[in-house]
Structure 1
């Protein structure tokens, strides 16, 4: 028996005509990078999140790397992230030249355990990357309190929690930056 890892056909069947129309529009415009489609999406997504700016890039990994670099995080710095995450979170830290420092998750949510963050903070620590997993936001109140007390940046990895709400605010809008991914297999 052959069971596919991901079945995009069943996901796309209901919206196939809209996908074909949108693809044709982009192909016919000859704007394959940036252009009005990207600008429209950036504006619509920033409105959806109730934030001022949204910048489209190639993928979630790029969004994390660009966030780290924009915040000046690099060689010799440490970044705290959950041990339970997709490899791209740790890769982003290493691509920026920094060192990932892993913190175990809470067993009831699988998100980073805020009670374990402070014990790994060192003078080299520059940021925390909470990952909102399976549509569940991390405990951002606790994480932001720790970050503020230790003067750390917060980069939210929101690749698996589009639209999730924590205390009346959307995941990805608490920290300095939020990184999203729109790979077709994501749980949007």
Structure 2
């Protein structure tokens, strides 16, 4: 599975701040932890360093730190970004991936319809095979759409637009067990 990397996006404590509003998928963190515990390939952790005054995701704030589910992660690369796409951070992620022969990226994290979706779209445009582990993401209600509606729209946009496959944590874990058994 060396051509495949797991990228965990913005799994940060600041998203627990009540100012974000109502979220969906309360099991996302447990699924992220299951992915971290079972993943045997390269692992990338991306952190959002907000430039917005008052944001709980600003550097120096406790909310900028990764959530406890990542405490045991043995990451190959950790870097920050200030925009939605992990491909536009302080590291040139495309160059890093290509230098390692990565052709397949598996994405999970926060927010489903923001940074996860944007990273999936850019990754698809760059020619990567992209999978989004939808049950290992969450988002918040936005304007007149619920978090669940936004998640469904993201899945439809990514799948229907040919940017990414939508998978579950169980799909990823089962594939990992099959690969391990074949070794």
TM range (shorter): 0.3 to 0.5
Higher RCO structure, 1 or 2 (CA under 8 Å, sep 6+): 2
TM-score scaled by structure 1? 0.39
Larger of the two Rg values belongs to structure: 1
